[in-house]
A = this chain, B = another copy of it.
């Protein structure tokens, strides 16, 4: 039977989950996968944490050199996070010919070229299923499940923190601030929530997933990004009245003009499978030329789901000697020939406060028409004596046209645009 020794760098939430799965399933993996997996080493500064998890003292390494020089270690799991020590240690492991399994989306997003170069040079494997959407095997699906397809588009809810916040705002009518506090109290959001709520986390993941889907390295810098901090409960309720749910979507599209990659809040029509993805659940909706629409749904984070992805990668690495790398063009800045679309197409939701009511609607409609923006739905809500609230949902138009129209309306004095949200189609 094949024997594989594993080292785990960092025994935090995900590293701890990985340790538990590996040590509790040794017999199961022998029986079902015909592979004997043992944890040979861990690198964790907090020795007490390691000991509390049951790691034998002699397996706690003092430094990375001890890990990469350990001939019993075949696979190094990196669950440290960030791009400091994690990057250095992963390179050390690859340069020593160890296969690396990582959950680190920022590292893989920003340094995949460097890591893959090192891996190839030393014939080491490099696996990263756990970097995106926790235990949901979306990377395995893109590589080995729908690889026969030209992928047109992917739309994902790939950040659990923001989905939890938006779900609470929709279901309980609470404000962004209150929903965020609740998420922090439950451990779904960090004390500094910016990586999640500003869309960085989703953008790292989208960069990785879009690179695999579109077969070209999509650099992080190309991902358009808007977070959810400005979302109001009023807009969520207005959307609901029109039959929409608000989600932080990660959208990747392959169009005739090039690739679109963007992370922003967007309304999704009720009845679309993504609209039902609530709370901390995640999902990725992929459209391919042969397979049509496929959706993968599950828990996008957490000790055990992310540990599941890491251990699945370990087993895959132990049982496959080929297919060690991703297949997108592997350069630091992406392929210079790939075109990216900044002026993407979308439908839009606008909320306006109309300050001069008499005849204002006709003038606003004329202004939108000037930018070739046609209105699909319109809802007028009574305001005070002088003002009214106008909700507009447009047909598909261009991002720049929408932005120009907004600037023009604000300059006109007819109305003030309070919020602009995209509507996914």
Given known A-B contacts A296-B295, A298-B293, A319-B323, A32 and B147 have beta carbons under 8 A apart: yes
- Pick the contact of A308: B31, B290, B298 (CB < 8 A): B290
Given contacts A144-B316, A288-B308, A312-B148, contact A135 B31 (CB under 8 A): no
Q: Does A160 contact B (CB under 8 A)?
A: no
Q: A291: which of B289, B293, B304 is its contact (CB, 8 Å)? A: B304
CA separation between A315 and B305, bound complex, in Å? 28
Alpha-carbon distance A146/B304, docked complex (angstroms): 12
Q: Are A145 and B276 in contact (CB under 8 A)?
A: no
* Residues A311 and B273 in contact, CB atoms below 8 Å apart: no
What is the CA–CA distance of A319 and B324 in the complex, to the nearest angstrom? 11
**Complex Cα spacing A302 to B137, Å:** 24
**Residue A312 contacts which of B135, B145, B320 (CB distance < 8 angstroms)?**
B145
Please tell me which one of the listed residues B25, B34, B215, B296 contacts residue A296 in the complex, with CB atoms under 8 A apart: B296
- Among A253-310, those with CB < 8 Å from B are 271, 273, 276, 288-299, 302, 304-305, 307-309
A63 in the interface, Cβ–Cβ < 8 Å? no
Q: Which residues of B contact A311 (CB under 8 A)?
A: 148, 290
Chain A contact residues: over half helix, strand or loop, or mixed? Answer: mixed
In the docked arrangement, what's the CA distance between A327 and B148, Å? 24
Q: Which residues of B contact A28 (CB under 8 A)?
A: 150
A197-218 interface code vs B (CB 8 A; 1 in, 0 out): 0000000000000000001000
- Kindly identify which residue among B17, B148, B298, B321 contacts A25, using a CB–CB cutoff of 8 Å: B148
**Nearest chain-B residue to A316 (Cβ)?**
B144
Q: Does A149 sit within 8 A of B, measured CB to CB? A: yes
Q: Which B residues lie within 8 Å of A31 (CB)?
A: 215
A23 within 8 A of B: no
A322 interface hit (Cβ, 8 Å): yes
Whether A320 contacts B323 by the Cβ 8 Å rule is yes
Task: Check A304/B322 contact, CB under 8 A, given A276-B276, A315-B147, A327-B32.
Answer: no
Given contacts A137-B141, A321-B322, A322-B321, contact A290 B315 (CB under 8 A): no
Q: Does A33 interact with chain B (Cβ within 8 Å)?
A: yes
Is the pair A299, B291 in contact by a Cβ cutoff of 8 Å? yes
Q: Does A136 contact B (CB under 8 A)?
A: yes
A327→B315 CA distance, assembly (Å): 13
Which residues from chain B contact A215 at a C-beta distance below 8 Å? 31-32
A140 within 8 A of B: yes
Q: Given A21-B148, A33-B147, A148-B308, are A298 and B290 also a contact pair (CB < 8 Å)?
A: no
Q: What 0/1 pattern do residues 118 to 161 of A give for CB contact below 8 A with B?
A: 00000000000100001111001100111111100000000000
Q: How far is the CB of A291 from chain B (nearest CB, A)?
A: 4
* Residue from B140, B304, B305 in contact with A145 in the complex, judged by beta carbons closer than 8 Å: B140
Q: Which residue of B lies closest to A136 (CB)?
A: B294
Q: Which 9 A-B pairs have the closest CB atoms?
A: A137-B145, A135-B291, A148-B311, A290-B308, A294-B298, A291-B308, A295-B297, A148-B312, A290-B304
Contacts beyond the supplied A148-B315, A322-B322: 16 A-B pairs with Cβ under 8 Å? A21-B148, A21-B290, A135-B146, A140-B144, A146-B312, A148-B308, A273-B276, A276-B276, A289-B304, A290-B304, A291-B305, A292-B298, A292-B302, A295-B295, A296-B296, A319-B323
